[in-house]
């Protein structure tokens, strides 16, 4: 009995370590490594948005069938949610946590640029959430527009 309890504790500890390390490995390292590829992140977000759109189209198409395949619908919903989560992850852990540096309020124009970038990122997060909640393609189009707007703002100034 004692041996079984110890084995269960060891398995639980291993699973906990695996869960924590999987999260850490997935995200950018969050140490000052200096290895950043901003353009790759923009491409990843754009690809995620396209995948969200395709998932929504498939969900709508499959749902309209006389005998909808619930298995396939669930798979497309999961795919849509994963790519919305991946986009949210890039926005928060890459851009907001690492790439945008806080700017003092008394810096005038620099502070306004900083706030604009944060606002665009926040709007993107909200639209990722809404894309998860619905199959309304308006959220996809809004995400595309916000991504283009953020990319312009991000690369047009030295304030990051």
- 1-44 pLDDT, tens digit per residue, is 566 766 665 655 555 555 555 444 344 566 666 678 999 999 99
Non-local (6+) Cβ contacts of 68 within 8 A are 62
The reply to whether 16 falls in a domain is no
- How many CA within 13 A on the CB side of residue 141? 3
Q: Name the residue with higher pLDDT: 22 or 53.
A: 53
Residue 29, in any domain of the structure: no
Residue 159 has pLDDT above 50, yes or no: no
In a domain, 78, yes or no: yes
Q: Say if 56 falls within a structural domain.
A: yes
> Which of 34, 56, 125 lies closest to 86 in space, CA to CA?
125
Domain count, the chain: 1
Asked if residue 13 belongs to a domain, the reply is no
Q: Is residue 145 part of a domain?
A: yes
Assign 160 a pLDDT band (cuts: 50, 70, 90): very low
Give mean pLDDT, residues 138-158.
93
Q: What is the pTM of this model?
A: 0.78
**CATH number, domain with residue 39:** 1.20.120.400
Is residue 131 in a domain?
yes
Dihedral sign (CA 46, 47, 49, 50): positive
The pLDDT tens digits for 79-115 are: 999 999 999 999 999 999 999 999 999 999 999 999 9
**Residue for token pair 């497309």:** 76
Domain-embedded: residue 19: no
pLDDT score at 154 = 96
**How far apart are the two ends of the chain, measured CA to CA in Å?**
58
Residue 28: the pLDDT is 53
Asked if residues 132 and 80 have their Cβ atoms less than 8 Å apart, the reply is yes
Q: Look up the domain containing 113 and give its range.
A: 35-156
Q: Mean pLDDT throughout 148-156?
A: 96
User: For the residues 151-159, what does the mean pLDDT come to?
Assistant: 81
Q: What would you measure as the largest C-alpha separation in the chain, in angstroms?
A: 68
Is 124 in contact with 49 (CB distance < 8 Å)?
Answer: no
- Per-residue pLDDT, averaged over 134-154, amounts to 98
């Amino acid at each position: 009995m004692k041996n079984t309890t110890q084995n269960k504790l060891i398995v639980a500890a291993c699973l906990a370590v695996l869960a924590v390390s999987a999260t850490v490995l997935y995200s950018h390292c969050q140490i000052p490594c200096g290895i950043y590829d901003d353009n790759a992140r923009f491409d990843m977000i754009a690809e995620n948005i396209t995948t969200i759109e395709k998932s929504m189209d498939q969900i709508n198409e499959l749902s309209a069938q006389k005998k909808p395949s619930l298995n396939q619908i669930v798979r497309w919903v999961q795919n849509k949610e994963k790519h919305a989560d991946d986009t949210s992850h890039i926005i928060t852990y890459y851009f907001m946590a690492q790439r945008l540096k806080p700017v003092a309020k008394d810096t005038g124009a620099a502070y306004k640029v900083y706030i604009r970038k944060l606002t665009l990122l926040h709007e993107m997060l909200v639209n990722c959430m809404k894309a998860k909640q619905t199959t309304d393609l308006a959220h996809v189009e809004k995400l595309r527009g916000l991504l283009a707007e953020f990319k312009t703002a991000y690369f047009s100034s030295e304030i990051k």
